Amino acid sequence: MFTSSLPCVHVVGANVYGYTSAILLILQGYKVTIIANHFPGDADYACNYPDNHVNSHWQTEASTADAHLQEYDATSFKMFWNLAKCKASESGIIIGSSFKYYQSPTDDQLNPWWKNVVPGFETIQNHELPEGVQLGHHYTTVLINTKRYLGWLQTQFLSMGGRQRRAAMNKILDVVGDQDHVSMIVNCSDDLPLGTDALDTSSQTIYQQQYTVQASQIRKAVQVKTKDEELYIYPRMDGTVVIGSSRRKQHDENATQLLNRMADYCPELTWGKGMDALNIIDQEKTTKSTRLHGPRVENQFIVTPLGTRLSVTHNYGHDGYQSSWGSSKCAVRLVNEAYANLKKDSQSISELLSRL
Ligand SMILES: Cc1cc2nc3c(=O)[nH]c(=O)nc-3n(C[C@H](O)[C@H](O)[C@H](O)COP(=O)(O)OP(=O)(O)OC[C@H]3O[C@@H](n4cnc5c(N)ncnc54)[C@H](O)[C@@H]3O)c2cc1C
């Protein structure tokens, strides 16, 4: 039940950033309504949001120079870690071991800023590296069952009194519609332009190919970064493992070729029995777009055609779950700033009126 005097914030987007922002806003005392065309639990949710039936694993793409992204990712890691320790089965987050290999490491990778964020970070000895790999890191991280985690976020949000409204929109400002009480929006959707302006097109397409196999012996995540590709193995709680590759260019490789390559980095995959030992349960090819300049987390003030001034706090363009708590914490700070700004606006009108 909403009890605070803070206004209602409309959050656009019912995926991980929408729910995380919404939960933090409610904790701050705002009334929150999430608006989206698809919600977790919908029968076709996984078709529309394929990432939500794979697995995530905390890893950072923040460069040494990007202090903001580093903070988002480090803050999120702390929260995921606490969830894994206290609420593993409800939230679908577990603690796991991770190996990261680089074929041609950059300076950032040789001296990663995040080595003190994750527990047990160590550089793997050269003689222990798989063939063709120049650098390897071993560390402890969190593995996220995205479907379960999203369901958990939604349950938290609803149990705190949050509201959901289903609507297919053409632009973010459709939230306003004929409702004159909308003054603050949080935008957690990559797919929608704000108003009549063009969609933010500063993004690139990534092509993903992945297989789910039965391999309960795999208890570690493995990632391999090459110049033009990222290969990964993410174990899930149910004894299955997601194995895949993502690239900037489309490519076709059959299951045997890809799984064979991965077995070079994780021999336990086949126990030396060859590809026939692997039971492939599912396979898919998908594309995802990522924002070239990283996520957008900032305030924008707009005057609607009806003359209402409103704030839009952007929190979109993220490439993975790893920044969700940190960037949403920042979004809440921005909403507080926007509220103070809008309040000052209305106060100054009251001041003018009082001088009449
Ligand atoms: C195929 C694929 C695989 C991925 N694999 C991984 C992975 O393994 N690990 C990982 O961490 N990340 C992965 N990602 C990236 C990760 O999914 C994204 O970072 C994450 O989904 C971003 O979530 P978001 O909250 O920003 O919302 P988005 O995914 O951008 O969701 C947008 C929300 O806005 C709503 N919306 C959109 N358009 C409209 C409209 N017209 N009207 C009303 N509502 C609308 C939607 O219903 C949705 O709720 C993958 C992404 C894809 C596509």
Domains of the chain, by residue range, sit at: 1-89+147-197+293-356
Q: Would you tell me how many other CB atoms lie within 10 Å of the CB of residue 256?
A: 13
How many Å lie between the centroid of ligand 1 and the Cα of residue 15? 6
The Cβ of residue 27 has, within 10 Å, a number of other Cβ atoms equal to: 10
Pairing of strands 296-303, 279-291: unpaired
CA 324 to chain centre: 6
Centre of ligand 1 to C-alpha 288, Å, is 9
- Could you tell which of 194, 321, 322 is best to mutate to test the pocket of ligand 1, judged by most ligand atoms within 8 Å of the CB? 321
Probe ligand 1: pick from 10, 23, 33, 37, max atoms within 8 Å of CB?
Answer: 37
Instruction: Please indicate whether residue 13, judged by its CB atom, sits closer than 6 Å to ligand 1.
Output: yes
- Regarding the beta carbon of 190 and ligand 1, being less than 6 Å apart is answered yes
CB 239 within 8 A of CB 219: no
Please tell me the pTM assigned to this model.
Answer: 0.91
Q: Determine the distance from the C-alpha atom of residue 230 to the mean position of all C-alpha atoms in its chain, rounded to a whole number.
A: 18
Ligand 1 atom 18, closest CA: 320
Ligand 1 and 51: CB distance under 6 A? yes
307: left (phi over 0), alpha (psi -120 to 50) or beta: left
Nearest residue (CA) to ligand 1, atom 8: 56
**CA distance linking residue 213 with residue 203, whole number of Å:** 31
Taking alpha carbons only, the member of 73, 145, 56 closest to residue 115 is 73
Residue 265, amino acid? Y
Of all protein residues, the one whose alpha carbon is nearest to atom 10 of ligand 1 is 320
203 CB within 6 A, ligand 1: no
Which long-range contacts does 247-254 make (Cβ < 8 Å, 24+ apart)? Answer: 247/206, 247/207, 248/204, 248/205, 248/206, 248/207, 249/207, 250/207, 251/207, 251/209, 253/209
Q: What's the CA-to-centroid distance between 318 and ligand 1, angstroms?
A: 9
Residue that has been written with the tokens 């071991």 in this structure: 97
Closest atom of ligand 1 relative to the 14 alpha carbon: 49
CA nearest ligand 1 atom 51, residue: 51
Question: Of 156, 154, 161, 196, whose CA–CA distance to 45 is shortest?
Answer: 154
What's the CA gap between 149 and 109, in Å, rounded?
29
Rounded CA-CA distance 21/36 in Å is: 14
Q: What is the pLDDT of residue 179?
A: 64
Q: Is the CB of 192 under 6 A from ligand 1?
A: yes
**What residue's CA is closest to ligand 1, atom 2?**
51
Q: Which residue, among 111, 114, 134, has the nearest Cα to 124 in the 3D structure? A: 134
pLDDT tens digit sequence for 284-331? 888 887 888 889 999 999 988 778 889 999 999 998 999 999 999 999
Instruction: Find the 49 Cα to ligand 1 centroid distance in Å.
Output: 6
Ligand 1 neighbour 50 (Cβ under 6 A):
yes
Give 40 Cα–ligand 1 centroid separation in angstroms: 11
Q: Which atom of ligand 1 is nearest to the CA of 55?
A: 8
Ligand 1: distance of its center to the CA of 274 in Å? 36
- CB of 58 sitting under 6 A from ligand 1: no
Q: How far is CA 28 from CA 14, 18, 95, 153, in A?
A: 19, 15, 29, 17
- State which CATH number among 3.40.50.720, 1.10.10.350, 3.30.360.10, 3.90.380.10 fits the domain covering 1-89+147-197+293-356: 3.40.50.720
Atom 47 in ligand 1: which residue has the minimum CA distance?
A: 38
Q: Do 194 and 172 form a contact (C-beta atoms < 8 A)?
A: yes
Which segments in the chain show pLDDT lower than 70? Answer: 1-3, 45-54, 178-180, 196-201, 272
Which mutation among 45, 189, 328 tests ligand 1's pocket best, with the greatest number of atoms within 8 A of CB? Answer: 189
Q: Bridge partners of 98?
A: 139, 221
210 lines ligand 1 (CB under 6 A): no
Separation between Cα atoms, residue 300 and residue 351, nearest integer Å: 25
Distances (CA, A) of 39 to 19, 140, 146, 157: 10, 32, 14, 13
